Amino acid sequence: MKSRFILTYVIIILGLASCFDQGSKETENTSKEAFTVYLVRHAEKADSSQDPDLTSEGMTRSTDLTTVLKSANIDMIHSTDFTRTMKTAQPTSDYFKITISKYDHKKLPALAEYIKDNGGIHLVVGHS
């Protein structure tokens, strides 16, 4: 079950890679810092309303995410401003004592640029 959790919820760099790769050497050379991104989809939501809470299983998974990421030394946590994403990120935020930075899910290239320019180890909690 834990390996399913890791495979289902934690994808390293793949989700944002397309935002970073513009196919030119200029893009490769503009990155100021090395970075790692843990891209996570929100845990199980309670219903299909516009801004649902997490189910009890979803809350457990958000805590499990913290366990998986304990050795990752997360520098920044980014989440969309929805209950399900914020609550998925919250246990990891509490563990690392990091404030969750909200991002606009309609402006992913801006988030990608921010991560690329600032480097570090990032947890990004989003949707699909």
pLDDT for res 32 = 63
pLDDT for res 33 = 74
- Compute CA distances 68 → 3, 40, 41, 73, 97, whole Å: 10, 12, 15, 11, 16
Q: Tens digits of per-residue pLDDT, 14-72?
A: 333 434 444 433 444 444 679 999 999 999 999 999 999 999 999 999 999 999 999 99
pLDDT for res 36 = 95
Instruction: Report whether pLDDT(99) > 80.
Output: yes
Q: Which of 6, 8, 11 is nearest to 124 (CA)?
A: 11
103 DSSP assignment? -
pLDDT for res 22 = 41
**3-state SS, residue 123:** strand
Instruction: Report whether pLDDT(9) > 60.
Output: no
Average the pLDDT over each of 3-12, 34-43, 96-105 and give the range with the smallest value. 3-12
pLDDT for res 62 = 96
Instruction: Report whether pLDDT(11) > 80.
Output: no
Instruction: Report whether pLDDT(104) > 80.
Output: yes
